[in-house]
Chain A
């Protein structure tokens, strides 16, 4: 499925995931975490989700050439 709106939506979600990964890694974000502190598992998860979104972006964007 090639669609630029979907592709750029995935790109934005991917960037948000990068931000979330950094915030979890720094211990700033505590959302859905059972304890306070640095949540490296959450950080890794969001980093993986970001990579998946960027792959999705590459799959769905319409190529001009």
Chain B
């Protein structure tokens, strides 16, 4: 992989990690469509991915630095007291409950699933599935809005969201299910943020709050996965300097995309990303099949 390719991959991973469009799917598809010779499944690629993930996790930590201070304090207070008294304490325990299923599935299944579905054809097919999922989440959400509208008429995006809850109010079983859904993102083409935002919507959260919960939930998952692979960085022949520059680029792109998405989801929906995934998946399948 050349330095320019590494920079491009850093930008692509950082930008697409938090958008509900599957960073892994794009990372498998784009090099294949551009006929770049390196492969994601190559063991030498792991240190590169480790640093990109650490860059993204750092961006999320910086974005939510004030909230993380309160959440970590709330975690220890609730853990030692054995009871939840405040919203940050509840959110800390929700994030713990949501992270555990993803951690179990990640440790035991991630490498097996990724090696089974690493081809660009499968990534393109799963990208279409991801698009259909995003549209499906919104169809279910619109039904609930119509039901809620019987009680309170709401026309604008902000008003429409008023009847739904903040991240701290999600139930513990729902947090566990949303957390477990992160494991679907081991399939290249299925978006971690997409399924967790969608899960949050089904659990009754506002769009912006579902995105916030998704990003908070992603932070320990991405950071943990990255830190566990850090020893790989010290294997021989890894151009750490070039990879670090790419990771910084990934972090900057992730920070900008998170800021954009949080503003977008104040009144926006998942539909555009669903349609994009379907179009990108179909176009990629066509390009791959025609060998263009």
Contact = CB atoms under 8 A, between A and B. Distances in A.
Interface of A: 32, 34, 40-42, 44-45, 48-49, 52, 55, 58-59, 61, 63
A32 B83 CA distance: 35
Interface string B215-234: 00000000000001000000
B43 interface: no
A32 B80 CA distance: 33
B96 A45 contact: no
Nearest to B96: A52
B111 A34 contact: yes
B237 interface: no
Contact of B228 (A41, A58, A61): A41
B4 interface: no
Interface of B: 79-80, 82-83, 93, 96, 100, 103-104, 107-108, 111-112, 228
A41 B107 contact: yes
B107 A55 contact: no
A interface: dominant SS: helix
A55 B100 contact: no
Name B's interface SS: helix
A32 to B, nearest CB: 5
B74 to A, nearest CB: 13
B32 to A, nearest CB: 25
Contacts of A59: 82-83
A21 B268 CA distance: 44
A45 to B, nearest CB: 5
A46 B103 CA distance: 10
B108 A48 contact: no
Nearest to A42: B107
A64 B83 CA distance: 15
Contacts of B79: 55, 58
A57 to B, nearest CB: 9
Nearest to A51: B79
A55 B96 contact: yes
A45 B82 contact: no
B112 A58 contact: no
Contacts of B112: 34
A34 to B, nearest CB: 6
Contacts of A45: 103-104, 107
